[in-house]
Structure 1
Amino acid sequence: MRKDLRILVVEADTAKAKNIIDALLEAGWSDVHAIAQVSGLEQSILKHAPDIVLIDMANPDRDTLEHIGVVSDTKSRAVAMFVDQTDQDLTQAALAAGVSAYVVDGLQMNRIKSVIETAIARFQMMRQMQSELEAAKQALEDRKTIDRAKGILMRRRDMSEDAAYKLLRKAAMDQGRKVIDVAQALVTASDLLT
């Protein structure tokens, strides 16, 4: 586990916040900051750029969870939330907000290290899946554009699909560009001419 993580703690109770910070320092993390209210989260994230946000909250509500999802940019950092009680709707809302670890029965100092490790591992897994999904979507969009460019060439030059692709590929190589860039330019030009 990396010890250079920047950690932001959200805890309303000053004594409890101090205990959490002490536990994190004792576990080897030295870049730890705390705020008392979720309302200060956005400003603190801008100031400290944490790798993980730990939120200890007795009774979260849906609005608070949505606020956490928006301001914490859960695509950029792990968020672990400790609550005293929950229900299925709140649990689902927390996951939808991008919370990486949602722990019921509050924050136990002896579990803090394992919760951080779990939150970071889940965050990295979700980020990898999101990245792969975005790459697959982009590949599909690129394929559609290339197919559309091939269709334009096939109609205008009365050529086969294979010959149209070879022409796109040759143009890309001659221009030092990617096939998708040549295809996009052809589609754009065609749209302008029709």
Structure 2
Amino acid sequence: MNSYSILVADSSETSRKKLCELLTIKGYKLFQATDGAGAIRISRSIFPDLVIMDVNLWGIQAYEAGRVIEEDRLSTVLFITNHASKGFYEKLQVMNVYAYIMKPIQQEQLHQTVEFTIRNARKIRSLEKKVAILEHSLESRKKIDRAKGILMEKFKIPEDEAYNILRKQSMDHCISMDKMAEKIITINK
């Protein structure tokens, strides 16, 4: 059994209950919303692993609610639709995971798509974190290289000596080397 939390957003009580029955079989922790604003509000409070949203949602349009949920990094959205038109595919392309469920919902298809979407969303979040770490590392390296260049030019010293000065200053001030590099760059503007 999975302990994933899933928010089911559907204006039709019958459809919402049927979907929840199918998801209960897999042991998911379920929450329900009847409109777009409710889906956003609940997502902000529980950060579900997945939001399954019918495209014909009341209130805020489903695509707009889905965009808010994903942009605010509250969850990943999986849409349910009766008809997959060209417009639907265009709107789907901007979502985190390019997947959807067609009505009538088949139990096996639902379970596979839910698992696929949650796993891929987690992979995407993991990769985004790695990219952020690499970007930070690259920016730090650029600052350190620039500060070394300033020290080399100012004191007419070789690169390794400039690096040692930068390292010693960062240790003496109990700050990271990139923060020390920022200080050197700022002072020498």
TM over 0.5: yes
Cα distance change on mapping 1:48 and 1:181 into 2, 3 Å? closer
Percent identical: 23
- Aligned 1:24-63 pairs, distance under 5 A: 24-29=23-28, 31-57=29-55
TM superposition shift of 1:175: 3.7
What amino acid sits opposite 2:11 in the alignment?
A: A
1:27-83 Cα distance to aligned partner (Å, 9 max, x none): 222x21211222322112134432211113369xxx642431223446342322222
TM superposition shift of 1:104: 4.8
- What TM-score results when the alignment is normalised by the length of structure 1? 0.82
Aligned pairs, how many? 185
Query: What do you get for the CA RMSD once the two structures are aligned?
Result: 2.4
Cα distance change on mapping 1:48 and 1:179 into 2, 3 Å? closer
Gaps of 5+ in 2: none
Does 1:7 pair with 2:6?
yes
| In 1, Cα distance between equivalents of 2:78 and 2:33 | 15
| In 2, Cα distance between equivalents of 1:70 and 1:15 | 26
Cα distance change on mapping 1:101 and 1:132 into 2, 3 Å? same
Name 1:20's counterpart in structure 2.
19
TM superposition shift of 1:120: 0.9
| In 2, Cα distance between equivalents of 1:24 and 1:178 | 48
What amino acid sits opposite 2:139 in the alignment?
A: E
Gaps of 5+ in 1: none
TM superposition shift of 1:92: 4.0
Q: List structure 1 segments (4+ residues) > 6 angstroms apart after TM superposition.
A: none
1:135-177 Cα distance to aligned partner (Å, 9 max, x none): 2211221111111111211121111222211211222234443
Name 1:178's counterpart in structure 2.
176
- What TM-score results when the alignment is normalised by the length of structure 2? 0.84
